[in-house]
Homo-oligomer: A and B are copies of this chain.
Amino acid sequence: MKTLPAPAQRRLVLLAQLLSQQKTRKITSSMIENLTGWSSSLIRRDISFLNFTHGVSNGYDVAELRAAICDSLGIENTDTEDIRRCCIVGLGRLGAALLDNSLFSETPFRITVGFDSSVNRTEVLRSTFPLYPLSRLELTVSDMGLQFAILCVKEDLAQETASRLVNSGILGIVNYSRAIISVPSGVFVENISPVTALINLSVRVAGRD
């Protein structure tokens, strides 16, 4: 098996999510094409990277295929074992809205701690896990051995906070701010600011000749 190309990896993540919603028991590559717009041969190629040998020729078994993708990507969505604990940094309106582990049900992720510069906010907000002042970030992240952070601080603090996270051992950052943050190699960032998303949409809409 060749190594999984990055675009294929991202499609497979979405495909796994699509399969969890799927009501039917079987699905064919052209049904997936209709749902996603990706060509059926591309989908078959993506699936072939999983070396998932299903045997039958009349489509994929939805549950089996999803399991094969999760298995291959290491994203078993068990609720019990192999949980990845994450922190949220910045508990403004947006950060506070994400303090809700029901968003992560049936995934291997759990929010286990939040940080904010305002002690007022860490004390007023209710959650099932601790909320600490920013000053305890380094200590807590390294003690808990966290690898993932959700960054919801304001633009002007984004780089500084990201660096502190990286220095404490964080390997992946979900960046909700518009700021572009620099991280050393081996650390990854997913930029999901609504502004970036709207700009990308706008360019794509304009570009459809």
Contact = CB atoms under 8 A, between A and B. Distances in A.
12 contacts: A4-B207, A9-B207, A10-B200, A14-B180, A21-B180, A75-B203, A92-B97, A96-B97, A103-B195, A109-B198, A172-B204, A190-B197
Contacts of A86: 198
Interface of A: 4, 9-10, 13-14, 17-18, 21, 34-37, 73-75, 84, 86, 92-94, 96-98, 100, 103-104, 107-109, 147-148, 150, 155, 171-174, 178-180, 182, 185-186, 188, 190-192, 194-208
Highest count of chain B CB atoms <10 Å: which of A37, A92, A192: A192
Q: Which of the listed residues A92, A173, A185, A200 has the most CB atoms from chain B within 10 Å of its own CB?
A: A200
A198 B107 contact: yes
B182 A35 contact: yes
A169 to B, nearest CB: 12
